[in-house]
Structure 1
Amino acid sequence: MDNGSNEPGGPLVAVSASTEVMRHPEAGEHLLGPTERQRAARFRQEEARQDYVAAHVLVRICAARVLGVEAAALTLAQQCPDCGDHGHGKPYLAGHPEIHVSLSHTHGVVAAAAGHHPVGVDVELPGRTGTAVEVFERVLAEAELKLVQAHPDPGRAFLRQWVRKEALIKIGRTTLDTLGELDLSALPLDTPAGLPLHSKYEDLYLLDWQDDTGTGATVCAAATRPPHLATPAALAP
């Protein structure tokens, strides 16, 4: 699906079922590096392992389309900004400091983004974030809390704000400890049926999408340039 934006330089964003990613012509666990393989092997549930692998494959495919190379030519690495460990933390492409990448995975669904400007992406499924009042109060600013509680479907409205804030964490705009201080109440809580929603928060461009026909996944990408939701053709080798 294409968001219709003509703004050049925006990151490429893709969302897919994990099984669909692994059917891509370039996909395969051979793309993973030694550290990624070690982490994948630690998952106790096979479904969770497959989601991890699919997300790490999809982000390579997105980056490959941006760079005009094969996915197998790219090395994905991670480094924690706090402890400096390379086994976890913010992902990056070794040898391509000009490219920014982000990825996310949940039960059976993955999302990834790549581009020449900073980007953060998150995907969640209904029921995965919790809808207890104490969760609302911890994550939402006061104005957001009122809007969510007044919404016909508070759980879905909360999920929309949650994925937005997770995307903003990944782009470095906030942290888990300060989510309640981030007020996104000016943004709409509902997205057009099956269509992406474009909005702005300060200097960032947000791309929201709700999959109402398949997985039910809620997705958000936050970027410094308008993101593009990739069509299947855009991800073809």
Structure 2
Amino acid sequence: MTSEDQDPHAPIAAVSASADVLRHPEAGEHLLTAVERERAARFRQESGRLDFTAAHILVRLCAARLLGVPADTITLAQNCPDCRKADHGRPYLPDHPDVQVSLSHTHGVVAAAAGRRPVGVDVELTARSGSLLQVAGRVLAPAELQQVEAHPEPGRAFLRQWVRKESLIKLGRTTLDGLAAVDLSALPLDVPPGRPLRSRYQDLHLVDWTDPVRGAVICAASTAAPRIVVLTPEAG
């Protein structure tokens, strides 16, 4: 992995093609727990299984880098506060309760984050912007909706706000039902490809990223400024 800066205390956020994660020297399905392997096996399509697996490996790589330990020492678990089942819900590290983690996966692209403060990350493909735009009226604040509708590319503009809001859900700051009450209209909608855009919302640091190679948009949010990490399959 290579990073944009060297602040050792900042949360780490990474994005990669699923295939690149699975080729990483430390990667392997042996890293997954029995619960994760059973969940992966439920996917009807092999591509979905691989994306799930890659995301669960990438979050371990992020946590391992943060802690300075091998990835095979990281155990990932999940717990649903509603039904108490351990096969879904917010991810956490049982052996490192001081470390917060988040992960996201879409078709062929995955993202993950790890930090010593609450952190959330989300990734979506730009190709999905048209279909996601259909829910804009339900998840955007009035000022956001006005901005998106006035943008030359409404689908792309909405996608940017969507990943931001999803990262806030994973951070624990809002819920799916509460998205319309979160107003991010003060944040810019256009993010230069390949360069992180940093902004603030209340006490949070948001880092937006556009990956033109993978056709994806990413947002990481935390109370400390996250740093973007680029995964390279050839090196750890």
Structure 2 vs 1, CA of residues 16 and 5 (structure 1 numbering), >3 Å: closer, same or farther?
same
Aligned twin of 2:149: 149
Aligned twin of 2:64: 64
Distance, in Å, in 2 between the alignment partners of 1:217 and 1:45 is 21
Aligned twin of 1:221: 220
The 8 Å contact of residues 126 and 215 in structure 2, kept in 1 or not, is answered as yes
Structure 2 vs 1, CA of residues 99 and 139 (structure 1 numbering), >3 Å: closer, same or farther?
same
Q: 1:193 Cα deviation (Å)? A: 2.6
Q: 1:2 Cα deviation (Å)? A: 3.6
Per-residue CA distance 1:9-49 (angstroms, 9 max, x = gap): 21111100000001110000000000000000000000000
Q: Which runs of no fewer than 5 residues in structure 2 stay unpaired?
A: none
The 8 Å contact of residues 127 and 215 in structure 2, kept in 1 or not, is answered as no
> What is the percent sequence identity of the aligned residues?
63
Structure 2 vs 1, CA of residues 192 and 2 (structure 1 numbering), >3 Å: closer, same or farther?
farther
Amino acid at match of 2:17: A
Distance, in Å, in 2 between the alignment partners of 1:2 and 1:56 is 20
Superposed, 1:12-51 pairs within 5 Å as 12-51=12-51
The 8 Å contact of residues 207 and 220 in structure 1, kept in 2 or not, is answered as yes
Q: 1:81 Cα deviation (Å)? A: 1.6
Distance, in Å, in 2 between the alignment partners of 1:204 and 1:228 is 14
Pairwise CA RMSD of aligned residues?
Answer: 1.9
The 8 Å contact of residues 133 and 155 in structure 2, kept in 1 or not, is answered as no
Per-residue CA distance 1:40-71 (angstroms, 9 max, x = gap): 00000000000000000000011011111111
Distance, in Å, in 1 between the alignment partners of 2:167 and 2:30 is 28
Superposed, 1:141-220 pairs within 5 Å as 141-212=141-212, 214-220=213-219
Amino acid at match of 2:218: V
Distance, in Å, in 1 between the alignment partners of 2:79 and 2:63 is 18
Aligned length: 235
Aligned twin of 1:84: 84
Q: Which runs of no fewer than 5 residues in structure 1 stay unpaired?
A: none
Distance, in Å, in 2 between the alignment partners of 1:2 and 1:133 is 32
Larger deviation, residues 33-42 vs 129-138:
129-138
The 8 Å contact of residues 9 and 117 in structure 1, kept in 2 or not, is answered as no
The 8 Å contact of residues 124 and 219 in structure 1, kept in 2 or not, is answered as yes
The 8 Å contact of residues 63 and 115 in structure 1, kept in 2 or not, is answered as yes
Larger deviation, residues 160-169 vs 76-85:
76-85
Amino acid at match of 1:105: H
Structure 2 vs 1, CA of residues 21 and 147 (structure 1 numbering), >3 Å: closer, same or farther?
same
SS of residue in 1 equivalent to 2:27: coil
Amino acid at match of 2:226: P
SS of residue in 2 equivalent to 1:117: coil
Q: 1:128 Cα deviation (Å)? A: 2.6
Amino acid at match of 2:28: G
Amino acid at match of 1:76: L
Structure 2 vs 1, CA of residues 186 and 5 (structure 1 numbering), >3 Å: closer, same or farther?
farther
Amino acid at match of 1:114: A
The 8 Å contact of residues 121 and 220 in structure 1, kept in 2 or not, is answered as yes
Distance, in Å, in 2 between the alignment partners of 1:154 and 1:216 is 17
